[in-house]
Amino acid sequence: MRFSTFAFGLVASTVSALPSTPRDLLPTIVFTPGAWHETWAFDMVRGNLSVLGFPTEAVALPSVGSTNASVGLAEDTAALRAELTTLADAGKDIVMVVHSYGGLVGSNAVEGLDYATRAAAGESGGVIMLIYMTAFASPADASLLDALGGVALPWFDYSDDGNFVTPTDPKTIFYADVDDALSAEAIAGLKQEPARIFTDDATFEPWNNDVEVGFFFTLEDQAIPYATQVAMASQFPSGYFSQTFNSSHSPFLSMPLEVATAITLASTDALLKKLL
Protein backbone atom coordinates (compact mmCIF):
# COMPACT_ATOMS: atom_id res chain seq x y z
CA MET A 1 0.00 0.00 0.00
CA ARG A 2 1.45 3.34 -1.04
CA PHE A 3 0.51 6.30 1.12
CA SER A 4 -0.08 9.60 -0.64
CA THR A 5 1.24 13.01 0.29
CA PHE A 6 -2.39 13.83 1.09
CA ALA A 7 -2.47 11.00 3.65
CA PHE A 8 0.76 12.27 5.17
CA GLY A 9 -0.85 15.71 5.39
CA LEU A 10 -3.84 14.30 7.24
CA VAL A 11 -1.54 12.60 9.74
CA ALA A 12 0.44 15.82 10.17
CA SER A 13 -2.78 17.74 10.84
CA THR A 14 -3.83 15.22 13.47
CA VAL A 15 -0.47 15.32 15.22
CA SER A 16 -0.35 19.12 15.19
CA ALA A 17 -3.75 19.18 16.89
CA LEU A 18 -2.41 17.39 19.95
CA PRO A 19 -2.20 19.50 23.13
CA SER A 20 0.83 21.72 23.79
CA THR A 21 4.10 19.83 23.35
CA PRO A 22 3.64 16.88 20.96
CA ARG A 23 7.21 15.65 21.37
CA ASP A 24 6.49 15.00 25.04
CA LEU A 25 3.37 13.03 24.17
CA LEU A 26 4.54 10.98 21.21
CA PRO A 27 6.60 7.81 21.51
CA THR A 28 10.27 7.80 20.59
CA ILE A 29 10.89 5.83 17.40
CA VAL A 30 14.05 3.72 17.65
CA PHE A 31 15.46 2.35 14.40
CA THR A 32 17.76 -0.65 14.06
CA PRO A 33 19.40 -1.28 10.67
CA GLY A 34 19.98 -4.61 9.05
CA ALA A 35 23.27 -6.24 8.12
CA TRP A 36 25.88 -4.15 6.30
CA HIS A 37 23.95 -0.91 6.90
CA GLU A 38 24.69 2.00 9.21
CA THR A 39 22.18 4.44 10.67
CA TRP A 40 22.21 6.67 7.56
CA ALA A 41 19.70 4.25 6.08
CA PHE A 42 16.89 5.86 8.08
CA ASP A 43 17.82 9.52 7.66
CA MET A 44 14.99 10.35 5.24
CA VAL A 45 12.31 8.57 7.27
CA ARG A 46 13.56 10.22 10.45
CA GLY A 47 13.38 13.60 8.75
CA ASN A 48 9.74 13.03 7.84
CA LEU A 49 8.93 11.88 11.36
CA SER A 50 10.64 14.94 12.79
CA VAL A 51 8.25 17.12 10.79
CA LEU A 52 5.42 15.36 12.61
CA GLY A 53 7.07 15.97 15.98
CA PHE A 54 8.28 12.44 16.67
CA PRO A 55 11.60 12.10 18.50
CA THR A 56 13.74 9.42 16.87
CA GLU A 57 16.94 7.50 17.52
CA ALA A 58 18.93 5.11 15.33
CA VAL A 59 21.28 2.58 16.87
CA ALA A 60 24.64 1.78 15.27
CA LEU A 61 25.37 -1.94 15.40
CA PRO A 62 28.93 -2.89 16.47
CA SER A 63 29.04 -5.74 13.96
CA VAL A 64 28.65 -3.45 10.94
CA GLY A 65 32.10 -2.84 9.52
CA SER A 66 33.80 -4.79 12.30
CA THR A 67 37.16 -6.39 11.58
CA ASN A 68 36.74 -8.63 14.63
CA ALA A 69 35.26 -11.97 13.59
CA SER A 70 34.03 -12.63 17.13
CA VAL A 71 31.62 -9.68 17.15
CA GLY A 72 28.08 -10.87 16.60
CA LEU A 73 24.46 -10.79 17.63
CA ALA A 74 25.22 -10.48 21.35
CA GLU A 75 27.19 -7.27 20.86
CA ASP A 76 24.54 -5.80 18.57
CA THR A 77 21.84 -6.73 21.06
CA ALA A 78 23.74 -5.05 23.89
CA ALA A 79 24.06 -1.81 21.91
CA LEU A 80 20.34 -1.66 21.18
CA ARG A 81 19.39 -2.72 24.68
CA ALA A 82 21.49 0.08 26.17
CA GLU A 83 19.58 2.68 24.12
CA LEU A 84 16.20 1.16 24.97
CA THR A 85 17.06 1.05 28.67
CA THR A 86 18.10 4.70 28.71
CA LEU A 87 14.85 5.78 27.08
CA ALA A 88 12.65 3.50 29.18
CA ASP A 89 14.29 4.63 32.42
CA ALA A 90 13.53 8.20 31.34
CA GLY A 91 9.85 7.21 31.20
CA LYS A 92 9.62 7.26 27.40
CA ASP A 93 7.19 5.20 25.37
CA ILE A 94 9.14 3.50 22.57
CA VAL A 95 8.21 2.16 19.16
CA MET A 96 10.99 -0.01 17.74
CA VAL A 97 11.47 -0.32 13.97
CA VAL A 98 13.85 -3.11 12.99
CA HIS A 99 14.97 -4.02 9.48
CA SER A 100 16.14 -7.35 8.07
CA TYR A 101 18.86 -8.88 10.33
CA GLY A 102 17.91 -6.16 12.82
CA GLY A 103 14.85 -8.27 13.58
CA LEU A 104 16.96 -10.72 15.56
CA VAL A 105 18.68 -7.85 17.34
CA GLY A 106 15.36 -6.27 18.25
CA SER A 107 13.78 -9.53 19.38
CA ASN A 108 16.63 -10.24 21.76
CA ALA A 109 16.99 -6.67 23.01
CA VAL A 110 13.35 -6.06 23.95
CA GLU A 111 13.17 -8.80 26.59
CA GLY A 112 11.99 -7.24 29.85
CA LEU A 113 11.85 -3.74 28.37
CA ASP A 114 8.30 -3.76 27.04
CA TYR A 115 5.77 -1.43 28.60
CA ALA A 116 3.64 -4.15 30.21
CA THR A 117 6.55 -5.87 31.93
CA ARG A 118 7.90 -2.60 33.26
CA ALA A 119 4.46 -1.46 34.42
CA ALA A 120 4.01 -4.72 36.33
CA ALA A 121 7.27 -3.92 38.13
CA GLY A 122 6.08 -0.41 38.97
CA GLU A 123 8.25 1.25 36.33
CA SER A 124 7.16 3.76 33.70
CA GLY A 125 8.24 3.82 30.07
CA GLY A 126 9.08 0.95 27.77
CA VAL A 127 8.48 -0.51 24.33
CA ILE A 128 4.86 -0.24 23.23
CA MET A 129 5.38 -1.83 19.80
CA LEU A 130 8.11 -3.66 17.89
CA ILE A 131 7.73 -3.29 14.12
CA TYR A 132 9.47 -5.81 11.89
CA MET A 133 10.09 -3.98 8.61
CA THR A 134 10.75 -6.91 6.27
CA ALA A 135 12.79 -8.23 9.18
CA PHE A 136 13.65 -11.67 10.53
CA ALA A 137 11.25 -12.81 13.24
CA SER A 138 13.11 -15.98 14.16
CA PRO A 139 12.00 -18.43 16.84
CA ALA A 140 14.16 -18.71 19.94
CA ASP A 141 17.19 -20.95 19.46
CA ALA A 142 17.10 -20.38 15.69
CA SER A 143 19.51 -18.27 13.66
CA LEU A 144 19.08 -16.15 10.57
CA LEU A 145 20.73 -18.94 8.59
CA ASP A 146 18.17 -21.38 10.01
CA ALA A 147 15.44 -19.10 8.66
CA LEU A 148 17.08 -19.43 5.24
CA GLY A 149 16.90 -23.22 5.40
CA GLY A 150 20.45 -23.58 6.69
CA VAL A 151 22.02 -22.55 3.40
CA ALA A 152 23.78 -19.24 2.75
CA LEU A 153 22.19 -17.16 0.02
CA PRO A 154 23.98 -17.14 -3.37
CA TRP A 155 24.70 -13.42 -3.04
CA PHE A 156 26.59 -13.87 0.26
CA ASP A 157 30.24 -13.19 -0.61
CA TYR A 158 32.46 -14.75 2.05
CA SER A 159 36.02 -13.64 2.69
CA ASP A 160 38.76 -16.17 1.92
CA ASP A 161 38.92 -17.20 5.57
CA GLY A 162 35.13 -17.45 5.80
CA ASN A 163 34.94 -14.99 8.68
CA PHE A 164 33.30 -12.03 6.94
CA VAL A 165 30.46 -11.49 4.48
CA THR A 166 29.60 -8.77 1.97
CA PRO A 167 26.64 -8.72 -0.43
CA THR A 168 27.07 -9.09 -4.17
CA ASP A 169 24.79 -7.10 -6.50
CA PRO A 170 23.21 -4.96 -3.75
CA LYS A 171 21.44 -2.81 -6.35
CA THR A 172 19.30 -5.77 -7.37
CA ILE A 173 18.99 -7.37 -3.94
CA PHE A 174 18.40 -4.28 -1.77
CA TYR A 175 17.68 -1.23 -3.91
CA ALA A 176 15.92 -2.29 -7.13
CA ASP A 177 13.35 0.51 -6.89
CA VAL A 178 15.67 3.14 -5.41
CA ASP A 179 16.82 6.10 -7.51
CA ASP A 180 20.14 5.27 -9.17
CA ALA A 181 22.04 8.16 -7.62
CA LEU A 182 20.73 7.38 -4.14
CA SER A 183 21.34 3.66 -4.50
CA ALA A 184 24.92 4.37 -5.58
CA GLU A 185 25.44 6.34 -2.36
CA ALA A 186 23.88 3.53 -0.35
CA ILE A 187 26.06 0.88 -1.97
CA ALA A 188 29.15 2.96 -1.24
CA GLY A 189 28.10 3.05 2.41
CA LEU A 190 27.78 -0.71 2.91
CA LYS A 191 30.24 -2.39 5.29
CA GLN A 192 31.38 -5.96 5.80
CA GLU A 193 29.83 -8.14 8.50
CA PRO A 194 31.30 -10.91 10.65
CA ALA A 195 29.84 -14.17 9.38
CA ARG A 196 28.78 -15.20 12.86
CA ILE A 197 25.79 -12.81 12.85
CA PHE A 198 24.12 -15.27 10.52
CA THR A 199 24.62 -18.27 12.82
CA ASP A 200 24.00 -16.68 16.24
CA ASP A 201 20.63 -17.67 17.67
CA ALA A 202 17.65 -15.58 18.64
CA THR A 203 16.94 -15.91 22.36
CA PHE A 204 13.50 -14.34 22.78
CA GLU A 205 10.15 -14.40 20.99
CA PRO A 206 8.42 -11.06 21.67
CA TRP A 207 5.16 -12.14 19.99
CA ASN A 208 4.82 -15.03 22.45
CA ASN A 209 5.60 -12.88 25.48
CA ASP A 210 2.95 -10.16 25.35
CA VAL A 211 5.05 -7.65 23.41
CA GLU A 212 2.93 -5.75 20.88
CA VAL A 213 4.33 -6.47 17.40
CA GLY A 214 3.76 -5.32 13.84
CA PHE A 215 5.06 -6.18 10.38
CA PHE A 216 5.78 -4.09 7.28
CA PHE A 217 5.62 -6.33 4.21
CA THR A 218 7.50 -5.56 0.97
CA LEU A 219 6.08 -7.18 -2.15
CA GLU A 220 9.07 -6.81 -4.50
CA ASP A 221 11.72 -7.83 -1.98
CA GLN A 222 14.66 -9.74 -3.48
CA ALA A 223 16.41 -10.26 -0.13
CA ILE A 224 13.55 -11.67 1.95
CA PRO A 225 10.82 -12.92 -0.40
CA TYR A 226 7.27 -11.89 0.41
CA ALA A 227 6.28 -15.51 1.09
CA THR A 228 9.02 -15.76 3.70
CA GLN A 229 7.82 -12.56 5.33
CA VAL A 230 4.28 -13.91 5.52
CA ALA A 231 5.51 -17.18 7.02
CA MET A 232 7.39 -15.35 9.77
CA ALA A 233 4.47 -13.05 10.55
CA SER A 234 2.17 -16.07 10.82
CA GLN A 235 3.71 -16.62 14.26
CA PHE A 236 2.18 -13.35 15.48
CA PRO A 237 -1.11 -13.18 17.40
CA SER A 238 -4.19 -12.08 15.49
CA GLY A 239 -4.77 -8.36 15.30
CA TYR A 240 -1.14 -7.35 14.88
CA PHE A 241 -0.50 -4.10 13.00
CA SER A 242 0.61 -4.49 9.40
CA GLN A 243 1.20 -2.48 6.25
CA THR A 244 2.22 -3.68 2.81
CA PHE A 245 4.48 -1.74 0.46
CA ASN A 246 4.98 -2.33 -3.25
CA SER A 247 8.71 -1.94 -2.74
CA SER A 248 12.09 -3.60 -2.69
CA HIS A 249 13.93 -4.54 0.52
CA SER A 250 14.60 -0.87 1.30
CA PRO A 251 11.34 1.12 1.45
CA PHE A 252 13.06 3.57 3.80
CA LEU A 253 14.99 4.77 0.73
CA SER A 254 12.47 4.28 -2.08
CA MET A 255 9.38 5.57 -0.26
CA PRO A 256 10.42 7.29 2.98
CA LEU A 257 7.26 9.40 3.17
CA GLU A 258 5.05 6.33 3.04
CA VAL A 259 7.16 4.53 5.64
CA ALA A 260 7.00 7.53 7.98
CA THR A 261 3.22 7.63 7.59
CA ALA A 262 2.93 3.91 8.32
CA ILE A 263 5.08 4.30 11.45
CA THR A 264 2.82 7.12 12.57
CA LEU A 265 -0.25 4.93 12.13
CA ALA A 266 1.45 2.06 13.95
CA SER A 267 2.38 4.38 16.81
CA THR A 268 -1.23 5.51 17.11
CA ASP A 269 -2.34 1.87 17.17
CA ALA A 270 0.23 1.09 19.87
CA LEU A 271 -0.79 4.04 22.03
CA LEU A 272 -4.45 3.05 21.81
CA LYS A 273 -3.68 -0.56 22.74
CA LYS A 274 -1.60 0.66 25.67
CA LEU A 275 -4.61 2.55 27.02
CA LEU A 276 -7.04 -0.36 26.63
Closest CA to 251 of 172, 171, 166, 176: 176
pLDDT digits (tens, 9 = 90+) for 192-226: 999 999 999 999 999 999 999 999 999 999 999 99
Which domains occur in the chain, in start order? 27-275 (3.40.50.1820)
Compute the average pLDDT of residues 64-91.
99
* pTM of the shown model: 0.93
**Rounded to a whole number, what is the largest CA-CA distance in the chain?**
58
Q: Which of the four pLDDT bands, split at 50, 70 and 90, describes residue 276?
A: confident
Question: What pLDDT does 79 receive?
Answer: 99
Name which of 2-6, 36-40, 71-75, 251-255 the model is least confident about.
2-6
Distance CA 204, CA 134 (A): 18
CB-based contact 175:145 (threshold 8 Å): no
Q: Which of the four pLDDT bands, split at 50, 70 and 90, describes residue 166?
A: very high
User: 19 pLDDT exceeds 50?
Assistant: no
pLDDT digits (tens, 9 = 90+) for 119-128: 999 999 999 9
Structural element, H or E, at residue 269 = helix 256-275
> Percentage of residues in the chain with pLDDT exceeding 70?
92
User: 239 pLDDT exceeds 80?
Assistant: yes
User: 10 pLDDT exceeds 80?
Assistant: no
Q: How far is CA 7 from CA 75, 104, 120, 155, 268, in A?
A: 39, 31, 37, 37, 15
Q: Who contacts 153 (Cβ-Cβ below 8 Å, separation ≥6)?
A: none
Compute the average pLDDT of residues 15-27.
61
Question: What pLDDT does 35 receive?
Answer: 99
Alpha carbon 104 to chain centroid, angstroms: 10
Q: How far is CA 197 from CA 69, 105, 159, 241, 248, in A?
A: 10, 10, 14, 28, 23
> Percentage of residues in the chain with pLDDT exceeding 90?
90
User: 61 pLDDT exceeds 90?
Assistant: yes
Compute the average pLDDT of residues 64-85.
99
pLDDT, mean over the chain: 93
Dihedral sign (CA 123, 128, 133, 139)? positive
User: 3 pLDDT exceeds 90?
Assistant: no
Distance CA 13, CA 17 (A): 6
